[in-house]
Amino acid sequence: MAEQSFHGCKVALFIGDKLLISLRDDKPDIPYPNMWDFVGGGREGNETPEDTLIRETKEEVGLDLQPEDLIWKRRYRANFRPDVHVFFFVARLPASHEAKIVFGDEGQGWKLVSMSEFLLIPNMVPSYVSRLGDWQTRRSQADIPE
């Protein structure tokens, strides 16, 4: 049931040893306007969490994420609306994929940052530091828990 009940997905996408982040549009009608964000978005139809994430990654940054690129996932309550759930993934692609990034029509831009740079960004969507911390704490366990 948990796999079927979710609003959307986000991914901490490592390109080589850097995290891919994008600056959200500065519109008052969206959650977290003008804040740094991870790739991802809302579920469409009966998509699985993986389907949603793969589609959103292609739409937002032009990268073809594959299921085997996903190294961790976890379901959370959404901060913007606690009555719904979201999935948070961690994925890795080789550094060579930086040249394949094609920014879509959502957001103001993108950049790659080191983990230490990421931790210092003041206008980051608030839940991401703790969610990455969850992954780091548990990454010695199974890659993608059931």
Domains in the chain, start-ordered, CATH in brackets?
8-138 (3.90.79.10)
Residues 85-134 pLDDT 10s:
999 999 999 999 999 999 999 899 999 999 999 999 999 998 998 999 89
Tell me if 108 sits within 8 A of 30, measured CB to CB: no
Residues 38-91 pLDDT 10s:
999 999 999 999 999 999 999 999 999 999 999 999 999 888 777 889 999 999
CA–CA separation, 28 vs 42, rounded Å? 18
Residues 78-90 pLDDT 10s:
887 778 899 999 9
Burial status of residue 57 (CB atoms within 10 A of its CB: 0-12, 13-18, 19 or more):
buried
Tell me if 48 sits within 8 A of 88, measured CB to CB: no
CA–CA separation, 129 vs 118, rounded Å? 8
Its pTM stands at 0.89
